[in-house]
Structure 1
Amino acid sequence: MQETPIMEVEARSEIKKGKNKKLRENGFIPGIISGKGMESIPVAVKKDEFRKCLNKFGRNAIIKLNSSDGNEYNVMVKGFQTSPLHYDIIHIDFQKVSLSEEIKAQVPIKITGQELLEAKRLILNRQLDAVLVTGLPQDIPDDIEVDVSNLTPGSTIKLSDLTLPKGLTLSSGSDQLLLSVNDARVQESEEPEEPEA
């Protein structure tokens, strides 16, 4: 099981726009902790600490939040908002999780071997960038790897063809197309012939 990162968060009593702006100016990101059967809890986390955690442990890591009011929460990052101008994270949604209850999560698809397809002049058509799975929070991986190096023209991979880590099941239709492979030469139509005079 992966190491559980710990982050310190500040409990917030006010969620007004002015307060949130001041938090961001001081290097914090406002956020909320939500979960089944609980009221949302406003918090703030240091921007640098959150970025380091995200880079090191990935989007689907379980994070232990130590709040300044003495409470502790096991959470996952449900989502975050970014500013349209600078792509800075301006708000985080944490989801409180239980290590004994299954959750649904989007897991990115990581393609390997694409350069070998390109060397054979084959084109990879991706239909999905992520797949929705169900499992215990600690079993949710950062990504699911798909090796395409041995695929041939006309090959397809559906969600049902994926090898999921132990304990995970698909939450979306298994017949859904994930990717397909085409021959680039078929798409390169010959130059049209000059009409006869």
Structure 2
Amino acid sequence: MNFVAFERAKQGTGASRRLRNAGKTPGIVYGGSAEPQQIEVDHNALWHALKKEAFHSSVLDMELAGKTSKVLLRDVQYHPFKQLVLHVDFQRVDEKTKLHMKVPLHFAGAEESPAVKVDKCMVNPVVNELEVTCMPSDLPEFIDVDLSKLVKGSSLHLKDIKLPKGVAPVIRGSQNKSNPVLVTVTAPEAEPVAPAEGAAAPAAAPAKKGKK
């Protein structure tokens, strides 16, 4: 994906407010061997781009001052209640340096699994994205996760899925967390058994007589 940015000379709260009033969003590009650079982006174009999953998880082509460079979206600040982007951060990409990124997980096949199709279980994703490390050229837009083989009483762990070539998971914490659960399977609740039609109601217990 690509977007157009413009150099921003003036800084400060007042300058940023005037930019927003003019339909622009202030931002910054940092990283790599160059100094951080203040930029501005068309707000409407940015707003629509932010609705696309790929804009958050892909290497982007940024056109700035007649040149195109590779960047990643790193942070977005939204207005608390208005549909307004207050500020956006991008990081320059070095083609020879590994990235740490959160990549969306796309789950498919649950309805065809024995857990759902036969045993009427519920399939519950525990996480919707996975933190990975890879070279920029290997960064996937998303990771497909096949749920078609899930069975009742099972769960899907990190080591159960196949990651794209060149992509490795980022493991934090102890070794016990090296294989986290991604998806759980919940058995359906047992429905109460209704008495058969025409069955006699249980006899009421005799009332106790009080002492005279």
1:58 aligns with 2:55: yes
Aligned length: 189
In the TM superposition, 1:30-179 aligns within 5 A as 30-36=26-32, 38-54=34-50, 55=52, 57-68=54-65, 72-116=68-112, 120=118, 121-172=120-171, 173-179=177-183
1:158–1:174 CA contact under 8 A, matched in 2: no
Preserved CA contact (<8 Å) 1:122 1:182: yes
| CA–CA distance in structure 1, aligned partners of residues 117 and 87 of structure 2 | 42
Once the two structures are superposed, residues 103-122 of structure 1 have per-residue CA deviations (whole angstroms, 9 ceiling, x without a partner) of: 10001111112344655521
Query: 1:83–1:90: 8 Å Cα contact kept in structure 2?
Result: yes
Deviations 1:31-89 (A, max 9, x none): 11121565432111112333455538532222222323x66532011121222213432
Instruction: Find the partner of 2:192 among 174, 187, 190.
Output: 190
TM-score of the two chains, using structure 2 as the length reference: 0.76
Aligned partner of residue 159 in structure 2, secondary structure: helix
Structure 1 residues 159 and 88, CA, compared in 2 at 3 Å: closer, same or farther? farther
Q: 1:33 to 1:134 in 2, by over 3 A?
A: same
Aligned alpha-carbon RMSD (Å): 2.8
Identity %: 26
Q: Choose 1 or 2 for highest CA Rg.
A: 2
In structure 1, C-alpha distance between the alignment counterparts of 2:190 and 2:71, rounded to whole Å: 50
- Distance in 1 (alpha carbons) for counterparts of 2:191 and 2:59: 51
Give the residue type in structure 1 aligned to 2:137. Answer: Q
SS at match of 1:58: helix
Distance 1:51 1:92 in 2: 11
- Please point out which of 19, 23, 29 is paired with 2:25: 29
TM-score by length of structure 1 reads 0.81
Q: Contact 2:131 / 2:169 at 8 angstroms: preserved in 1? A: yes
Q: Give 5+ residue unaligned stretches, structure 2.
A: 172-176, 196-201, 206-212
